[in-house]
Structure 1
Amino acid sequence: MLKEFILVVTLLALVQSSSVYVGHVYDQTGLVRKVYDKMIESTAIPLIKREEEVYFEYPAGDQKIKGIAIKDLHDGKAEASITRGGLGFGFVNIKLKSERGSGLKYLIEIFAHHPDLYKRTPTNYHFSAKRTNKMRTSSIAILLCLIGAACSQSHDLVIGQAQYGDVIVYKADEVRYGFPFIVRQSILEYPEQGQKNYAYIKAIYIKDNDRDGTGGYPSISAGGVGQRFVKIKLKSQRGSGLNFTVTIYGRYV
């Protein structure tokens, strides 16, 4: 009963604070330790949405991320999502976005299953925060370059890696037609309400079937690899639709 109460309180806190927790962010055995933390803050500007893109990468390829905590320290009006890498990878890209006219303040913590990493100095890691302000003016040449780059790539998202013994526990196509000037959005949850999942998620493959760069953007907003649940957010570009195939691999232990 106590564990259920704690779980309910934790879920309520996640919903209200826009925090994101994936993987193992606490381990009593001490095998999972925090290897990096960073405070990201942007002040509010009237009528403007503040954005931050945070990139973290290990210096060597044999070290893998085991947990990520993106803690909302503001008023819960911002959004946090993992757009690339993450659990099972040596790198992660995190996007933070405020509501219009609001600021944001997050504490980002990264955990790894490698005790020696905790003793290294922060200078051994590659960490960058890209600050953007929508009031900045861009030249036409730069804008055309960005449009060309966007049109030449899809927006697939792969988290984790399926191995021998893993099975497909969920697969679905999510398609929504576009409407002029409208941003379409879908939220997928596994398992669905009223169902139970007894397998631990090992990998998540979200394939963008629009290969010309006009497709939407996928992100993990809760749960994920190492957990028994996941919440996936799909968001279209303005005026465009969504066409994704979501495949989740799990293992029964």
Structure 2
Amino acid sequence: MKVCFLAILGLLSLVALAQSEGQNQSHSVTWGARIFRDMHLERAIITEKSKFLRVVSRYYNFTQIGYQRRITQIVVTDQIRNGQGGFARLEAGGPQATFAKIYFKSQRSKGFSFIVDIYGI
């Protein structure tokens, strides 16, 4: 009887784990690492609405005017955390550079919303 109870408990635990596995899928990404004395250079909110049966995309360019600071970290936070959000890809620049070009792409028939934080020294 005790073995049967443990088997049922184990089976229920595996089912609960399998169902919860897809709940917190996020497409957030971080490039580089923050270091001592770096500062927040820019925050941008990048969004695109969905289009029926289409994939939407957008580029984000970070350029500096005047004093050129070296980028140490780029943090891209996905605001749609159920696995339905888009994807981000660093196209050019980034950490150790003074500029960055990031490409955002949605899933088919979905939109996306990201927060981009850029740190530098």
Structure-to-structure mapping, 1:32-181, within 5 angstroms: 152-181=24-53
Deviation string 1:207-241 (CA, Å, 9 cap, x unpaired) is: 00101000000010111100001100010001000
Structure 1 portions without partners, runs of 5+: 1-147
Q: Which residue does the alignment assign to 1:224?
A: 94
What is the identity, as a one-letter code, of the residue corresponding to 2:33? Q
Helix, strand or coil at the partner of 2:37: coil
User: Aligned residue for 2:83?
Assistant: 213
* Identity across matched positions, percent: 29
Task: State the secondary structure of the residue aligned to 1:199.
Answer: coil
Partner of 1:204: 74
Higher strand share: 1
Rounded Cα–Cα distance in structure 1 between residues aligned with 2:120 and 2:113: 23
User: Which structure ranks higher in relative contact order (CA pairs < 8 Å, sequence separation ≥ 6)?
Assistant: 2
Deviation string 1:70-94 (CA, Å, 9 cap, x unpaired) is: xxxxxxxxxxxxxxxxxxxxxxxxx
Tell me the residue number matched to 2:115: 245
Q: Runs in 1 of length 4+ with deviation above 3 angstroms?
A: 148-152
Q: Tell me how large the CA RMSD over aligned residues is.
A: 1.8
TM-score, with structure 2 as normaliser? 0.78
Q: Which runs of 5+ in 2 are unaligned?
A: 1-19
TM-score by length of 1: 0.38
